[in-house]
Structure 1
Amino acid sequence: MSDKDTTATQLSAEELEDLVASTDTGGRQPSNKNVAKFMAAVALIWSLLQVWYSSPIPYVVGFGVFNSGEMRSIHLAIAVLLAFLAYPAGKSSPRRYVPALDWVFAILGFGCAFYLFVANTELIGTLTGQRLSDRPNNPNAVDIGVAIVGMLLLLEATRRALGPPLMVVAIVFIGYTFLGPYAPGILAWKGASFGAVAYHQWISTEGVFGIALGVSTDLVFLFVLFGALLEKAGAGNYFIKVAFSLMGHLRGGPAKAAVVASGMTGLISGSSIANVVTTGTFTIPMMKRVGFSREKAGAVEVASSVNGQIMPPVMGAAAFLMVEYVNIPYFEVVKHAFVPAIISYIALVYIVHLEAMKNGMEGLPRAGQPKPFKWAMLSFLMSVAIVLALASGVYWVVQFFNGLGSAELKLLAVAVVIGLEFLIYKGVFRNASEGTKEKIISVFALVICNLTIGAFGVSYLLDIIRSLAGPALTPWIVGVLLILAYVWLASRCAKEPDLEVDDPNQPVVQLPEPGPTIRSGLYFLLPVGVLIWCLMVERLSPSLSAFWAVAFMVFILLTQSHLFALFRGEGTAGKFKEGFDHLIDGLMTGARNMIGIGIATATAGVIVGAVSQTGVGSVLADLVELLSFGNIFMILLLTAILSLILGMGLPTTANYIVVSSLLAPVIVSLGQANGLIVPLIAVHLFVFYFGIMADVTPPVGLASFAAAAVSGGDPIRTGFVAFAYSLRTALLPFLFIFNTDLLLIDVTPVQGVFVFVMSTAAILLFTAGTQGYFLTKSRIWESLALILVAFTLFRPGFWMDMIVEPFDHQPPAKIFEAAEQMPEGGELRVIVDGLDEVGEPMTFTAIIKLGAPGKGADRLSDFGLDLLTQGDEIIIDNAMYDSPAQKAGFDFDQKISTVLVPVVQPAKEWMYIPALLLLGLVVLVQRRRRDAAGAAAVAA
């Protein structure tokens, strides 16, 4: 295909906007102004209502307080209404007006969803003598009729907004609910009546209005709205420009900048397709300009954009769903997801670097003196060393500061760290000459010290404010300080020129300087900082954290144009109206971005409801166990394949809900049966990681099609290349199932830093092995050696367990003696025989975590276990209610067959030595071959 022919497949800017709209917000744009205003007004009301619901204001004024059930009804009612108005029924359906039938569907769908709110009001209770909640499991004819119509319209809205696959899957599960008696073999069940299904799916909180829709209502909307407001304020373009100014001059620089820019925009964008088009229209042409093919340029953008969904703190909707499904705090979800997300992005940057090395690519020119790549690498390594040094001391610094009791001492500590920051700035930064290696290193040192010292300074400053002002005045004082910081940063940013949105079709002569580019939008970091601070430090609820971040963004949107004009000495007339228009536009955009998510979570609730009503989950567990032969690795592989298959048609959120509901408990139980204790969060992250491949996997990956539309390349080839680039993402879930250190489970801060460093090195070596290029083009044995080294760095315990058994198998009667000898906090493992819920024999491994030292029987009793000795048998007489023993799976009349006592092993880190020796051999061989090739090229 000629360039001319290929270029013809590229879409214009308007066509790309239409692609995003048709996928995320609905492709219909009515020409009738009244209809357009109505749709805009509904979207605006939806956003304002969600902000009101998440705010503390209703509780303060005592008016407009909605409970979660009421708000779910309103949420879905508006989502269905907008879905029928914004999404055409088919490709040939009109886009410039809303047909009468769509109006009928929209009004009926709104009414059916809103019925749950109305039917539970005091007014209805007075008129009919009974509210909906007063007749549990006893629906009347109206309830059943509303449920039937509502389900049908929800399925049609799903088809329009998300395509047929999710609708088809939901129909299959509904059909199974009714046709259970006719299902084959083990899938057969007694079936259910219309009334039972209607109540379970539509009126109760087990189906459509269940946990998934509740998460969309309570949490996801505010985060999507926050991203829309940030984008409307100009943060998206700022992140792209910063990434290019910092990395565009390196080998394959535009591709590396695309990865970083997509990671940053992924923090505020919940859509892979929107991320591809937003950053891709700028990055893909620049990647092509430095030597990337159309398909590879598109694939880099796809891989980096899709990975935005695994990047904390937002992670699309999945993080909030995990809070509900796994029943752990949001902070814990983010902590567990952090290391895999970061090293995945580092590996993608390295993939780009290897591609650039293979093809001899260069970066784009920058204004000013260029910096050699080796200096950049040196600065990176030095910054890592500084991070390690700081991190190792951070824990003790925190302990010291926390030991300071009075506000005066903490104020002194804050003054000390601010003085230290001044000394670093003056002594290291200013004394380093421009363009030297010392300058580069000092910049990294200053940034890291600023972040570390700034975090501690803010933490203890807030502590002082709380102790002096009290809890009532503290929020007001913090609000004033934030506004002052924003005004000060705006005054600094106003000295720099505005960042224009570049035309991607125009050649880039040189890259912008990093300093002015970074300084031009520093105030964008404040609302992001507020969100992260509220979530991670103050430990506020995600909903309240998002509210405060949104409230701050509203203030920024209303004032930024006015402040910039004021500080630049320009006229301020009309600037407030300009900001108000941007705010209204952002509120409407956020609501339209939520249509698909609201519909997806509701329809996924249909599938979850069918699973809970029919009990098909346990049947699938038996089926999967049969197919996997009880092997935990095989069950993981089958789960990954199922996620990829479903991912070809389901959006990430729906895919995660379906697969985690069906298979997460299966993986945990099979792991126990195989002696592997798999934390539930690890299983859910495993499912989620493969779910994000939904937008990559050919032949349906929508992000790949969007990238091909920008690059002019073949979408299927783009998808396959993107899938190859995403292999490092596919590797990580398997690893953190078997090595939970990657998820920072039960590790100290210092251990966490060590895990991060070793995991980063491992993922880079795995990337080099799979890409077939390290220092030079790799031979097959070198690639295999690199992958082996990577595996050893990731999971050194695998080899150590083969050398020294980790547990000593003792007879059950030894459990009391073993429990008495274990140290405080020690874990004793036992293999237990018993019966499952349906009376079938089962065997599983359980962990007994022991408390304070004492007699073995007492320590086991403190854990919640009452044991009965009958000869050589140890029988569980009781597992106390809500005790750790009951949560670990122990139950009455189970038998302990084996006691696994931990054995003192050599440190598993000893396995790093042979791995590093093998790595050294590969490096030596490849350096000789590379130097020989270079000498031959010079001689020629």
Structure 2
Amino acid sequence: MSDKLNKEGPLSNEELEDLVASTDTGGRTPDNAFIVKLMMGLALVWSVWQIWIASPLPYIFNFGVFSGKEARPVHLAFSIILAFMAYPAFKKSPRHEIPLADWGLAIIGALATMYLFAFDTAFGDTLTGSRLSDRPGNPILPDIIVACVGVVVLLEATRRALGPPLMIVAMVFLGYTFLGPYAPGILAWKGASFGAVADHQWLSSEGVFGIALGVSTGLVFLFVLFGALLDKAGAGNYFIKVAFSLMGHLRGGPAKAAVVASGMTGLISGSSIANVVTTGTFTIPMMKRVGFTPEKAGAVEVASSVNGQIMPPVMGAAAFLMVEYVNISYFDVVRHAFVPAIISYIALVYIVHLEAMKLDMQGLPKAGETKPAKLALLSFGITLSAVLAIGGGLYYLSELFNLLGSTFNKLAAILILIALQMGVFKGIVARSAEGTKALIFSKGAVVLCNVVIVCFGIFFAVNLIRELAGSDLTPWIVGASILVVYIILISICAKYPDLEVDDPNAPVTALPEPGPTVMAGLHFLLPVAVLIWCLMIERLSPELSAFWAVALMIFILLTQRQVFAFFRKEAQTGKLKQGFSELVEGLIAGARNMIGIGIATAAAGIIVGTVSQTGVGLVLAELVEFLSQGQILLILIFTAILSLILGMGLPTTANYIVVSSLLAPVVVSLGQQNGLIVPLIAVHLFVFYFGIMADVTPPVGLASFAAAAVSGGDPIRTGFVAFFYSMRTAILPFLFIFNTDLLLIDVTPLEGVVVFIVATAAILLFTAGTQGYFFARSKMWESALLILIAFTLFRPGFWMDLISPPFSKTEPATLVDVMGSLNSGSEMRLIVQGEDDVGDPLVFTAILPVLDGATSEERLEKVGLELLIEGDEVIIDNAAFDSPAQAAGLDFDQKILSVLVPVSQPAKELMYIPALILLAFIGLIQRRRSRAAQSEAATA
């Protein structure tokens, strides 16, 4: 692979495919047809098995039911076998045959993993006299031998599939478990025996077969498979064509289209490199054609492709890992991740726009009439306002009708929506056709508003069906409705020609028309809509949601060509066979895409197991606290640096698992000690963001090397430019740690809309400040002020807290009186002195809610707090089990040092006023400078 990356000039399509294969799915292509069929067969069986265990069928037929404990070894066995078959041992190892040693390692690795499955049944009882579950913590000699062999084979598979870094990190942690007594200073611990390590790492659910591998087995595989099937059906090309048709005519249009296309393909690809090569093959040559240098063209593609991993609802594998590690629902993970991901992409589009403005670039020629820029902006504003107004109104309408709850009211709601959709907007379309305000309120606005109305209509209709038909018939009715919608969509799509895959090096005379391009693949949106509906509305488990989406994709692959042929009145011959072949190819591609992820989650489990067995996390907390001197900002910087360093060699998933296991609890606890209450989800997203940044960071960022291979530019320079473009992604984690409104934590829907609008404006201003261009090229002081304004919009509470502190400090003896004087529902903060888990002194901040109660004593009782007051000294005598006091971290014999009482504070949003005045001042200066420059250019 490195030979190709270092090659001068862009790579051919075949070389690019080999690049993706060697990094994601394995670069070995055996000449022996039987071996090829065997590899494909194993991948196919793996996919079918994963679909089977995720479906309700095993429980319906009472056959083939696998528990999570049983499924993990089978999942890892498939990963290991395919890893040794697909990945050569060394650069010079044969690529067209599988050596005997690789066969041996594949078989040994599979047997070692299946040992856990086979020997925890009656079979193991017969051979060894007991099952594995009968001897927890007490392994016998065969257990230890199998564990040792399994770990060694897994580490070798890790080296092949993911490179040496993850293997080395895992070996260092594994060595620490044995060599603990010889470790220096505070890192020293008593060490562990072979038996203890074998049991913990291989035989229990704490190490290799822990949570990470469980998430890979139950969730990640299905989502990766869904993406592979969607891509095989043609959705990848559809997303790229739609992005180009909508944005290619703008300044720097191909680069903006690359950002949008990568955001959409992020739904179907969990690999930065595959995303770069898939979309970059088309976008990078076009970016170069309109004036971008090879390095900047590659950097735009890298920044947008890497950001595909932060885009909900899939987010690579991290979203599902967060569900397990943070112990919140998948819906909450997506809700918290939504705003940062969206505004990060908006900022990247703006970066491209600023680069185009600097170089006075033009877009590609557009088919049809081009709307003037000012009217286009006005149209966008009206469209956004209409969508938000209709969406907000219908949201509260849905809340009202759910509150009323009667069948009649729900039916009335559906009729209102139908009338709204058919009446008002049909009239607008008619007036637009006559030329009235046609440029301002475009048909695109009508389409978006109709989409919002239809979504709410579907929501009411499903609720009505559930109420009338009952829970048994509802799934059948909904399934039949989806089938009808699918046929209707294809009948619409069939009126337009298929979207062919274009040659990116061919000259572009005009962009495709947006309307026909969007309409040609509407049916691809149906499985995505079903996935999001199941996850967000029905609140099904992610595993079951992905299964239904995959099931629909299987149906689409098998039938879409036949249905298209029916509506186009074409011959049906061979259509079913072609669809079946595409389905098989998609199932195989999904399994091969999972090889690296399965290996990575298993190898990362070694590190997680070491942390839980040795307690090194507590030691690391002390080390980080010492280095940072208790400063939360320094803690975050150290965490970010560690994430970047580890991420240079680890895939994103493994990097997230390692750093979140080591440092997420540290950041939360040290933040609490310093008066900053950091939600755990914020820390996990912080770690994840810097983990994906490592795919960009020179000198190791493979995504930058892949983009340079496409563009023919210098890979190191591409990496540095991409890192500079990604600064807006790097600043967001620091901001949402200190302002959790960005994660939509404890905000209403209306507040969420305001947060989104303000955060978007702030990230655009930050981008303008870092890029040195707003309306014109910025001077240094102007860039600094733009960044300051952006900070104020992101975190207005910082300045307001300096002007008017939100808490007043009182003596601990006043706690009882304060509790009685505060309004119910407010929160007070206690500075508490206690001990940590190992008995060392600890000072931290606890948040104590104020609950309803007639007296102070009654309120204290409700929060579960009993105090011992002796003069000015207040000691906690008891914190009741499962009470708010215990949840706040309070415990027996802790000493309350002081009480922070909330005081009335002006709205922090008032700080927007001076920020906006300063922004208007800078904008006025730059507009004058821009007009003067344009006048000089016109005169010249």
TM-score, structure 1 as length reference: 0.98
CA apart distance, 1:101: 0.2
CA offsets per residue over residues 686-735 of structure 1, 9 Å max, x none?
A: 00000111211110101101100000000000000000000000010000
Q: Which residue of 1 aligns with 2:461?
A: 461
CA offsets per residue over residues 409-447 of structure 1, 9 Å max, x none?
A: 211210110110112331112321488863453334323
Pairing of 1:298-447 with structure 2 (within 5 A): 298-433=298-433, 438-439=438-439, 441-447=441-447
Pairing of 1:698-777 with structure 2 (within 5 A): 698-777=698-777
Say which is worse superposed, 372-381 or 13-22, in terms of deviation: 372-381
Q: Note if 1:32 corresponds to 2:21.
A: no
- Contact 2:830 2:897 (8 Å CA) reproduced: yes
Q: Which residue of 1 aligns with 2:555?
A: 555
- Contact 2:394 2:456 (8 Å CA) reproduced: no
> Closer, same or farther in 2 for the Cα pair 1:459/1:663, shift >3 Å?
same
> Residues of 2 paired with 1:884 and 1:37: CA distance?
60
Q: Which residue of 2 aligns with 1:618?
A: 618
RMSD between aligned alpha carbons?
A: 1.4
Q: Which residue of 1 aligns with 2:173?
A: 173
Say which is worse superposed, 23-32 or 852-861, in terms of deviation: 852-861
Q: Which residue of 2 aligns with 1:282?
A: 282
> Residues of 1 paired with 2:109 and 2:596: CA distance?
15
Q: Which residue of 2 aligns with 1:237?
A: 237
> Residues of 2 paired with 1:95 and 1:773: CA distance?
50
- Aligned-pair identity (%): 70
CA apart distance, 1:858: 2.3
Q: Which residue of 2 aligns with 1:918?
A: 918
Tell me, what secondary structure is at the counterpart of 2:404? coil
Q: Which residue of 1 aligns with 2:850?
A: 850
- Contact 2:262 2:279 (8 Å CA) reproduced: yes
CA apart distance, 1:406: 2.0
Letter in 2 for 1:359: L
Q: Which residue of 1 aligns with 2:110?
A: 110
Tell me, what secondary structure is at the counterpart of 2:512? coil
Q: Which residue of 2 aligns with 1:688?
A: 688
CA apart distance, 1:77: 0.8
- Contact 1:375 1:437 (8 Å CA) reproduced: no
Pairing of 1:38-187 with structure 2 (within 5 A): 38-187=38-187
- Contact 2:312 2:338 (8 Å CA) reproduced: yes
> Residues of 2 paired with 1:370 and 1:434: CA distance?
18
Q: Which residue of 1 aligns with 2:581?
A: 581
Q: Which residue of 1 aligns with 2:543?
A: 543
CA offsets per residue over residues 712-763 of structure 1, 9 Å max, x none?
A: 0000000000000000000100000000000000001111100000000000
CA apart distance, 1:649: 0.5
CA apart distance, 1:60: 1.2
Give the paired residue count.
936
> Closer, same or farther in 2 for the Cα pair 1:810/1:405, shift >3 Å?
same
CA apart distance, 1:8: 4.4
CA apart distance, 1:391: 4.7
Q: Which residue of 1 aligns with 2:807?
A: 807
Q: Note if 1:533 corresponds to 2:507.
A: no
CA offsets per residue over residues 540-582 of structure 1, 9 Å max, x none?
A: 0000000000000000000001111111111001101110110
Letter in 2 for 1:192: A
- Contact 2:42 2:78 (8 Å CA) reproduced: yes
> Residues of 1 paired with 2:435 and 2:598: CA distance?
51
- Contact 2:877 2:893 (8 Å CA) reproduced: yes
Say which is worse superposed, 306-315 or 444-453, in terms of deviation: 444-453
CA offsets per residue over residues 10-34 of structure 1, 9 Å max, x none?
A: 1110100000001110011111111
Q: Note if 1:641 corresponds to 2:641.
A: yes
> Residues of 1 paired with 2:415 and 2:388: CA distance?
24
CA apart distance, 1:205: 0.5
- Contact 1:496 1:519 (8 Å CA) reproduced: yes
- Contact 2:252 2:356 (8 Å CA) reproduced: yes
CA apart distance, 1:278: 0.5
> Residues of 2 paired with 1:857 and 1:674: CA distance?
29
> Residues of 1 paired with 2:606 and 2:554: CA distance?
36
Letter in 2 for 1:360: D
- Contact 1:83 1:161 (8 Å CA) reproduced: yes
CA offsets per residue over residues 26-72 of structure 1, 9 Å max, x none?
A: 01111111111111111111111111111111111111111001000
Letter in 2 for 1:306: V
Tell me, what secondary structure is at the counterpart of 1:403? helix
Q: Which residue of 2 aligns with 1:190?
A: 190
CA apart distance, 1:127: 4.4
> Residues of 1 paired with 2:611 and 2:316: CA distance?
24
- Contact 1:429 1:439 (8 Å CA) reproduced: no
Letter in 2 for 1:222: L
Tell me, what secondary structure is at the counterpart of 1:829? strand
Letter in 1 for 2:861: S
Tell me, what secondary structure is at the counterpart of 1:838? coil
TM-score, structure 2 as length reference: 0.98
> Closer, same or farther in 2 for the Cα pair 1:738/1:122, shift >3 Å?
same
CA apart distance, 1:468: 1.1
Pairing of 1:814-833 with structure 2 (within 5 A): 814-833=814-833
Say which is worse superposed, 503-512 or 123-132, in terms of deviation: 123-132
CA offsets per residue over residues 766-809 of structure 1, 9 Å max, x none?
A: 00000000000000000001000000000000000000111011
> Residues of 1 paired with 2:447 and 2:819: CA distance?
50
CA apart distance, 1:128: 3.5
CA apart distance, 1:878: 1.8
> Closer, same or farther in 2 for the Cα pair 1:440/1:96, shift >3 Å?
farther
Letter in 2 for 1:173: F
Q: Which residue of 2 aligns with 1:798?
A: 798
CA apart distance, 1:865: 2.1
Say which is worse superposed, 117-126 or 779-788, in terms of deviation: 117-126
> Residues of 1 paired with 2:936 and 2:56: CA distance?
72
CA apart distance, 1:80: 0.5
Letter in 2 for 1:807: F
CA apart distance, 1:612: 0.8
Q: Which residue of 2 aligns with 1:932?
A: 932
CA offsets per residue over residues 814-868 of structure 1, 9 Å max, x none?
A: 2222222222321111111001111111100011123324322322322232222
> Residues of 2 paired with 1:221 and 1:92: CA distance?
31
Unaligned runs of 5+ in 1: none
Say which is worse superposed, 850-859 or 427-436, in terms of deviation: 427-436
Tell me, what secondary structure is at the counterpart of 1:777? coil
Tell me, what secondary structure is at the counterpart of 1:848? strand
Unaligned runs of 5+ in 2: none
- Contact 1:391 1:750 (8 Å CA) reproduced: no
- Contact 2:387 2:449 (8 Å CA) reproduced: no
CA apart distance, 1:76: 0.5
Q: Which residue of 2 aligns with 1:488?
A: 488
> Residues of 2 paired with 1:287 and 1:441: CA distance?
31
Say which is worse superposed, 854-863 or 502-511, in terms of deviation: 854-863
CA apart distance, 1:7: 9.5
Q: Which residue of 2 aligns with 1:570?
A: 570
Q: Which residue of 2 aligns with 1:267?
A: 267
CA offsets per residue over residues 333-385 of structure 1, 9 Å max, x none?
A: 00000000000000000000000000000000011112233232222222232
Letter in 1 for 2:425: Y
- Contact 2:7 2:709 (8 Å CA) reproduced: no
CA apart distance, 1:89: 0.4
CA offsets per residue over residues 380-411 of structure 1, 9 Å max, x none?
A: 22223224433543442222221332223211
Q: Which residue of 1 aligns with 2:630?
A: 630
> Closer, same or farther in 2 for the Cα pair 1:434/1:67, shift >3 Å?
farther
- Contact 1:224 1:594 (8 Å CA) reproduced: yes
Q: Which residue of 1 aligns with 2:255?
A: 255
CA offsets per residue over residues 272-330 of structure 1, 9 Å max, x none?
A: 10000000000000000000000000000000000000000000000001001100000
